[in-house]
Structure 1
Amino acid sequence: MNTPARPGGSLTLPGGTTVARLGVGCWPIGGPAHNLGMPMGWSTADDHQAIAGLDRAFDLGANLFDTADVYGHGHSEQLLGYVLSGVPRAEFAVTSKVGYYTEPGTDHAMDPAHLRRRLESTLQRLGVDHLDVYSLHNSNFGPDDTFLEGAVAALRGFQAEGLIRAVGIRGPHRFAPERLTTEPGQREDKHARFRRHFAAIRPDVLAVRDNLLTPPSATDGIREFSNAHAVTVIVNKALGQGLLTGKHTAAAPPTYADGDHRQRKAWFTDTALAVLSPHLDEIRRRFGDGPQTLPHAALAYCLRRWPGAVVLTGFTTTAQIEQNLTCDPARLTTDDLLFLADVGRRAQQALDSLGEVFTDEVAR
């Protein structure tokens, strides 16, 4: 049986597994959930579509799957484990994350004993004996980074035991509750915090949020930084959590059920969608008005902007898997890339003009 071409090309992860550069993000299939007093899931998920979509992803050559223990409080990992049970372990890579859920009775999510329990639970749900990448899901290590040293020691210990092959962290970002409890002028500079944590952790893999709606300041210098430190990059939210696919419109604004994180995000309101719409129309006029036009442009932009990185694409339906994993980044010319960057810049500025709440949602 011939192995299908790897969508987006291929690269080798730390630890030696060769993976497609278009990976599958499994947050949406976790379904609705609450955590830290706020909605943190996706109300549009369907288990049957999730399983069929994961199977189809393998057919199309995708073999890197990214999840986390907090996605549906383990449900995403369970669904993924069900599908992976029929696949030889050498044929796929699976990454997971820890730190956004704290078990009752635990002092802190980054406590070493808690990290071990969470890893063991993740491995059990996924039905694997090791993870290709295990990442710290946020930068909250307690006051004065109290739990940082212990967390680093724990993850490197897991690596020495063969339970994980690589340690990952996120690029500059904000812990979700920080946006609700701390005024913008009182927040620690996220870039300075990231560099401090990077120096302490020395990760093998770096997760970076980037898409056409991400302001340059959010990723300023991170490509050069990752190259200088020879870390593998995984780009997430390349489709803006669906905003860049054109499926959401101001004329028919989406509605989300309880437990959907989009309920609390200003950029999914009809006001923001109305501002974004003409910019998406510009992309359609240049590349065509088919159902694949917008997602392919957004994914190809990230694949070309981050050469040598994995770009994740989430899904809730098999049709979205078919649509996203057939993207060919080589079809974009240099002029196309410059055009998309310009459209994205103007869209960012238009959203910025709506006020701080919109700007903060897009920038994070």
Structure 2
Amino acid sequence: MLASDLSAIGHRPLGRSGLSAGPIGLGCWAIGGFFTLDGKPDGWGKVDDEQSIRAIHAGLDMGASLIDTADAYGTGHSEEVIGRALKGRRADTVVATKFGYTHDRARRALVGKDVSPGYIERACTASLRRLGTGHIDLYQIHVGDLTHDQADAAGETLEKLAERGAIRFWGWSTDDAAGAKRMVKFPHFVAVQQELNVFTDGPDMLAMCENNGLASLNRSPLAMGFLTGKFSPEMRLPDDDVRAAGHSWVRFFEDGRPRGDYLERLAELRELLQTGGRTLAQGALGWLLARSPNTFPIPGFKTETQVRENLAAMQMGPLPAAIMAEIDALLRSRPAGGDRPPRGR
């Protein structure tokens, strides 16, 4: 299903919540700064907190209202920066955060996973404090793979948090469409966060979201920056960047370098994505806006310039249906990559 008939400017409903938000949000993994997972860097290099705050303010001024983060990002630092940025502007935003990866703040390290009821309660309290808010609009399970028993226990706990007013609604960051569909039975479950971009489609999850009135938040909407077009074959990212750390789930880069098959595919898509004077990033976001009326791409950022470029895609609107059809035909003719498992980040 395409959404190319949507107006270029305006909010989209956040699933069945009754809330709405600007169609492109702010993904706040990168502004968390340095932290590790499995002993390897899981952040995006050095950050400047004041610059991060200016970038968030610019995004709000341009119509972004959905801000997505997690307690894992910088082991709480991203939430703290957002809390500072939203002082006096909390009413303008839909704040989404996640839980499930336990961390050692002193070491800036993720150390395990926990979705037990007691942990969820403690994690929510801690996130509320760091964010400086009385409630979380969308509280998301960060761990992508759960047993049915784990998922049900988490859902029951999240429903209690919603009834108490600590959270308004909740969701799950997962690429398991069947597992997510099981959660529809919970009344405050309104959103799924799935990996979705031009290189990595997710038709089963999108169909499930559309059929059940759920929002689809799109992580890695620019394929970890690959779809900005700024990478050349000889480039190598620094070792403190998650894309160079050697994580098996990083699919678009290898040994810190952009993968050749994806560079070739991007070259083939370049002209189509730049339709109407768009930059490559704006075209990639326009593809997501056209892919479904339920999508909310949440591109990451470290600078105000990146935020301004990304959010300008809202004024340009979804890619035209004819362009979407050409891209689809090209992608179907020779898929790139696809050999690495996604991860609920």
Taking structure 2 as the reference length, the TM-score comes to 0.83
- Within 5 Å, give how 1:238-253 maps onto structure 2: 238-251=221-234, 253=235
Instruction: Name the CA distance, whole Å, in 1 between partners of 2:190 and 2:342.
Output: 27
Contact 1:235 1:312 in 2 (8 A): yes
Q: Secondary structure at the match of 2:64?
A: coil
Q: Secondary structure at the match of 1:258?
A: coil
Matched with 1:360 is: 340
Q: CA deviation at 1:64?
A: 1.0
Amino acid at match of 1:337: M
Aligned match for 2:204, one of 207, 217, 221:
221
Contact 1:50 1:317 in 2 (8 A): yes
Q: Secondary structure at the match of 1:241?
A: coil
CA deviations on 1:144-190 (whole Å, 9 max, x unpaired) are: 55543432221111000011111101342xxxxxxxxxxxxxxxxx5
Q: CA deviation at 1:236?
A: 2.0
Aligned match for 1:24, one of 18, 23, 26:
26
Amino acid at match of 2:323: D
Structure 1: runs of 5+ lacking an equivalent: 1-5, 173-189, 353-358
Give the 3 Å change call, closer, same or farther, for CA 45–343 of structure 1 in structure 2: farther
Amino acid at match of 1:209: E
Instruction: Name the CA distance, whole Å, in 1 between partners of 2:20 and 2:186.
Output: 28
Contact 2:102 2:112 in 1 (8 A): no
- Within 5 Å, give how 1:187-266 maps onto structure 2: 190-196=176-182, 203-215=189-201, 219-251=202-234, 253-258=235-240, 260-264=242-246, 265=250
Matched with 1:73 is: 75
Matched with 1:110 is: 115
Contact 1:292 1:323 in 2 (8 A): no
Aligned match for 1:336, one of 312, 320, 323:
323
Size of the aligned set, in residue pairs, is: 327
- Within 5 Å, give how 1:1-364 maps onto structure 2: 9-13=10-14, 14-87=16-89, 89-101=90-102, 109-141=114-146, 145-172=148-175, 190-196=176-182, 203-215=189-201, 219-251=202-234, 253-258=235-240, 260-264=242-246, 265=250, 267-269=252-254, 272-286=258-272, 293-327=279-313, 328-330=315-317, 332-345=319-332, 349-352=335-338, 359-360=339-340
Instruction: Name the CA distance, whole Å, in 2 between partners of 1:107 and 1:254.
Output: 30
Amino acid at match of 1:134: Y
Contact 2:43 2:73 in 1 (8 A): yes
Contact 1:98 1:135 in 2 (8 A): yes
Instruction: Name the CA distance, whole Å, in 1 between partners of 2:277 and 2:320.
Output: 21
Instruction: Name the CA distance, whole Å, in 2 between partners of 1:39 and 1:299.
Output: 27
Structure 2: runs of 5+ lacking an equivalent: 1-6, 106-110
Amino acid at match of 1:341: D
Amino acid at match of 1:95: A
Q: CA deviation at 1:200?
A: 7.3
Alpha carbon RMSD of aligned pairs, Å?
3.1
Q: Secondary structure at the match of 2:240?
A: coil
**Aligned-pair identity (%):** 27
Contact 1:26 1:76 in 2 (8 A): yes
Give the 3 Å change call, closer, same or farther, for CA 271–79 of structure 1 in structure 2: closer
CA deviations on 1:267-325 (whole Å, 9 max, x unpaired) are: 21377533222332333334659995210110000001021332211111111111100
Amino acid at match of 2:237: T
Instruction: Name the CA distance, whole Å, in 1 between partners of 2:170 and 2:49.
Output: 29
